[in-house]
Amino acid sequence: MRHLLAIAILIAVAPALAAQDPRLEARLDPTTRAAVAALVDSARAAGLPTEPIIDKALEGTTKRASSDRIIAAIHTLSVDLQAARNALGPTAPDGDVIAGASAIRAGAHPEILDQIKGVRGKAGISVPLAVFTDLVARGVPADTASTVILHLAEGGASDADYAGLERSVARDIGAGAPPGASAAIRARVSTGEVGAAATGGPPPGVPATPKDPKGKPASRP
């Protein structure tokens, strides 16, 4: 009901809105288009990147979501973008804000964004935050992923190191390792706390010797 009221108001003021994105004109119905255009304008006025909002609306309309659902999704996204902007500051690049919003949505505390930014400096935070979101998507608890990402930043990790961590964790999980344990140990390997030899053998959390159903080590030929 609240969304319907908002839509009615937005339709009334739609002609006064700034020029709309041609993609919205082409693919959204008039009701949804007016609501999205209003939110895009608000985001622009607040110094937020608008491309993710338009993109989310296009995703919703391609998936044939209802107007209500599209508006709710882009509203939630706007809130996350605002939280990321607040955490990273007004001069942060749009790419960092977008990555930050995704990380917040995935469970990162806004403070961690600022901490990583402070440690990484000019190296940027979009790749570390993207890897954070990816780790959470793979099943690593958000708190563990936050600790891992920050730990790597403090160890001077490069973007390539983050990408390597992501690949290693994905490989470990594929081999049956618990996601959280894999991420924690791989991060320690990346920063040199654990010797390179630790990367050999089974992935973290997987027994070195296969066990039979009774729990005894299986005999090998």
Partner 1 sequence: MHDDDQNDELIGRVADELRIPVALDPGFDARVMAAVRRATPGRWRRALRWWTEPRPLRVSPLTGLACAAGVAALLVVGAVSLRPSLPSPIKGAVAVGAAVPAEPGSEMVQFVLVAPQASSVAVVGDFNDWDPSRTPLRAEAAGGVWSANVSLRSGQHQYAFVVDGKEWRPDPAAPRAVTDDFGSPNSVIVVGGKST
Ramachandran area for residue 176 (φ above 0: left; ψ -120 to 50: alpha; else beta): left
CA distance 108 to 133: 9
Which pair of tokens denotes residue 5?
A: 């009221």
10 vs 169 by CB, closer to partner 1: 169
Q: With binding defined as CB under 8 A, does residue 53 bind partner 1?
A: no
Contacts of 41 (CB under 8 A, 6+ apart): 17, 18
Compute the least distance from the CB of residue 195 to partner 1, in Å: 21
Degrees, nearest 5: CA angle 11-16-18: 105
Compute the least distance from the CB of residue 209 to partner 1, in Å: 29
Q: With binding defined as CB under 8 A, does residue 219 bind partner 1?
A: no
Q: Which stretch binds partner 1 (CB under 8 A): 40-48, 122-130, 184-192, 197-205?
A: 122-130
Half-sphere exposure of 170 (CA within 13 A, CB side): 10
Compute the least distance from the CB of residue 15 to partner 1, in Å: 25
Residues contacting partner 1: total by CB under 8 A: 42
Compute the least distance from the CB of residue 193 to partner 1, in Å: 21
129-168 residues in contact with partner 1 (CB under 8 A) are 129-131, 133-134, 136-138, 158-164, 166
Compute the least distance from the CB of residue 161 to partner 1, in Å: 7
Which pair of tokens denotes residue 82?
A: 């605002």
Compute the least distance from the CB of residue 139 to partner 1, in Å: 8
Report helix, strand or coil for 217.
strand
Q: Which stretch binds partner 1 (CB under 8 A): 1-9, 52-60, 83-91, 202-210?
A: 52-60
Dihedral sign for Cα atoms in the order 24, 69, 138, 186 = positive
CA distance 56 to 78: 10
Q: Which of 63, 214, 216, 220 binds partner 1 (CB under 8 A)?
A: 63
CA distance 89 to 219: 59
Where on the chain is the footprint of partner 1 (CB under 8 A)?
23, 52, 55-56, 58-63, 65, 69-70, 72-73, 76, 95, 98-99, 102, 105-107, 126-127, 129-131, 133-134, 136-138, 158-164, 166, 170
